[in-house]
Structures are given as C-alpha cells and as structure tokens.
Amino acid sequence: MTRNDALRYGSRTLALTATALGVIATAVPAAAEEQPTAEQIMADCASGAGKCSFNDPQLGKAYLGEPRQVSELLFNCTDSAASQSMSWADTVGSSHSVGGSVTVGGGIEGIITASVTATYNYTWQSSHTETSSFTVTVKPGEVGWISRAQVMRQISGTWQTHYDDPKWGHYYWFVPDTVTGPAPNGTDGKHSAVVVKSRKMTADEKKLCAGGSTRNKVFTRSH
C-alpha cells in the first residue's frame, strides 16, 4: 500500500465510522488530485492548522545507535605514544519516518510527549545532550578521537488530524509514523558507549607532520 493509499484508506474508514455513530463529520471521497502528502498533513500538525493527536503509540525495544565521532582529532607526530585529555560533546535528536527531524519545542514534539506520557508514563525526549572529557592515547603516526553511541528507541503510532472544515475533501486524515529518538541510559538494559578509536594517518595527514609548527608534536584538528 502506498502512502497516499494509506492516507485515503484511513480517511474513508473514519468517514464510515462517523456515519455509523451518527456524527456529522463525513465527506464525499476526495478525488485523486486532492490527496495530501504525509508531509502536508504533518505540517498542519506542527503549525496547528489541524487538530492533531498521536494515537496508540507503541514503544519498541531500546537499542544502541551507530557510534559517531564526538571530539576533535588528535594527531601524534612524535616517535612515542602520546596521551591527552580531550573534551567531547554529543547532541542526539529525533526523527520521524514521514518528515525528517522532530524540532525541539515544536508542535509535533509536544503532541508525541503528551501521548507517550499518558499511555506509558514514559518520559520521551526529542533531544539529548551529553558532555565530558576523556583521555586519548595515540600511537606514533596515528590519529585518535572519541566516539559515542547513544541508546535509541522507536515509537510507532498513527497521527490523526481533525479540521473544523473539510480539507482535501475530509474532516479527518490518518498518517502512520515511526519516531526514532534518544532513550535514557539503561533503558531495557542498554547503555550508551564512549570509546577511544584510532587509525593510521593518511598520506596527506603525514605531510602535516613533516613540516611547519606540527613537526614532532601532538596536535588536534576539528573533524
């Protein structure tokens, strides 16, 4: 089933249900050219143009996200191993399957938070930031850095949008969605990981060690 088919099916299903309940909220089926995209529906949810709720949220199991570099690169141009304390910072945001990132403080964030809290008493967060420092040890001729993997969790549900006046031929539209975001450390026994990684210098990086102020020194560069 395509996305537009899912949207059209959801709106027609609700229209039939509303009729059975005697609610005056039905409309004739929209023509194909009148079908909205999921992004248009989500934009109305974010702006408040549509009265939206995130229904029947389902929490997935926590898992460890992909590791990523969170510090500067440490170059060792000396003939012996070198150790240096390096600060790092990592901010992990949320995304959803129908429209990119979930903006902190935006309308979408508040709706998801209210729904998940009411259903599970689980504090969902759209963004998580951590900062700290770590000692990095790098062998001669190598580059080192700090990498971090965040505990993540997915929440699946369905957006329901209600309009005071029919839009795209209907009062209601439904959009299935999966939200992926950071989870508290220790969720489902999963813990965020901070590790030191290293590799051999490339040919271009070795040139940095061959001359200028970096000769026979340890230095850092942004990644």
Distance CA 215, CA 43 (A): 54
Distance spanning both ends of the chain, measured CA to CA: 42
- Residue recorded with tokens 């059209």: 8
Compute the distance between CA of residue 180 and CA of residue 178 in angstroms, rounded to an integer: 7
Cα Rg, the chain, nearest whole Å: 25
Walk along the chain (223 residues) and give the pLDDT tens digit of each residue. Answer: 444 444 544 444 444 333 222 222 333 344 445 789 999 999 999 999 999 999 999 999 999 999 999 999 999 999 999 999 999 999 999 999 987 889 887 889 999 999 999 999 888 989 999 999 999 999 999 999 999 999 999 999 999 999 999 999 999 999 999 999 999 999 999 999 999 999 999 999 999 888 888 888 999 988 6
Q: Classify 39 as helix, strand or coil.
A: helix
**pLDDT value of residue 105:** 78
For residue 7, what pLDDT is reported? Answer: 52
- Cα–Cα distance for residue pair 60/177, rounded to 1 Å: 13
- The number of angstroms, rounded, from the C-alpha of 169 to the middle of its chain's C-alpha atoms is 32
Instruction: Note the pLDDT of residue 19.
Output: 29
**Contact at 8 Å (CB) between 55 and 157?**
yes
Output DSSP code: residue 98.
T
Q: Is 122 helix (H, G, I), strand (E, B) or coil?
A: coil
